[in-house]
Amino acid sequence: MANNKFKEFFQLGEVGNYFIRVFKKPDPNQKSNYNLRMMHGINKISILVFLAALIFWIVRRLM
């Protein structure tokens, strides 16, 4: 029972699975359109900018 709770605690959920799907290589067998590729590209940029700002904020607060 404890092992099951441990696995459940570290499940990524919908948001985590989206991050993995955005940053992995696209599946060549799956049909993709231009709008979907642009949406994922913009999301990659926004996630990276957010993480950079978060790191900058943390470093600035510690100094």
Contact indicator for 46, 22 with CB cutoff of 8 Å: no
The model's pLDDT over 6-54, given as tens digits with 9 standing for 90+, comes to 666 667 677 777 777 777 777 778 777 888 889 888 988 998 999 999 9
For residue 5, how many C-alpha atoms fall within 13 Å in the half-sphere facing its CB? 2
Indicate whether this model's pTM tops 0.85: no
Cα separation of 34 and 13, whole Å?
27
Task: Report CA dihedral (48, 21, 16, 13) to the nearest 10 degrees.
Answer: 160
